[in-house]
């Protein structure tokens, strides 16, 4: 795995999750069965009402994530910032609502604060 840190030599939340899922079978199982507890073990709290869907990627499967429509389909074109699209070059993209983007940023802060 490429050395990816958050700029101060510490691994990012996402990198640490992958490393543990690859090297610690008990953590990998917990991450699949109870992702909130797995994240809590890293000092990361997930806000109530936020659902977590952990998928172990397969080498032979292409995944498409279809974002939800606006609550009222007729509002879809008028709803500003319904979904944010984050890209990293041509490598990948994340599609998530603004509120979940803020939640992910907060979770990353928890991780950095609790994993010096």
Beta bridge partners of 5: 11
**What pLDDT digit, counting tens, does each position of 53-78 carry?**
999 888 888 877 766 666 676 666 65
For 5-18, b/e burial (b = at least 16 CB within 10 A) is: eeeeeebebebebe
∠ CA 5-51-67, rounded to 5°:
85
Mean pLDDT across the chain: 78
pLDDT of residue 39: 96
Residue 21: inside a domain, yes or no? yes
**What pLDDT digit, counting tens, does each position of 15-45 carry?**
999 999 999 999 999 999 999 999 999 999 9
Structural domain boundaries enclosing 99:
13-114
pLDDT of residue 92: 54
Domain count, the chain: 1
Residue 69: inside a domain, yes or no? yes
Mean pLDDT of 92-101: 68
Residue 45: inside a domain, yes or no? yes
């Amino acid at each position: 795995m490429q050395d990816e840190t958050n700029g101060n030599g510490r691994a990012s939340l996402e990198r640490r999750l992958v490393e543990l899922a690859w090297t610690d079978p008990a953590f990998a199982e917990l991450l699949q069965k109870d992702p909130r507890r797995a994240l809590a073990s890293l000092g990361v709290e997930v806000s109530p009402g936020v659902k977590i869907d952990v998928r172990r990627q397969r080498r032979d499967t292409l995944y498409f994530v279809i974002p939800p429509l606006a609550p009222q389909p007729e509002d879809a074109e008028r709803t500003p910032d319904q979904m944010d699209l984050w890209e990293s070059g041509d490598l990948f993209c994340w599609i998530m609502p603004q509120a979940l983007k803020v939640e992910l940023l907060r979770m990353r802060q928890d991780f950095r604060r609790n994993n010096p």
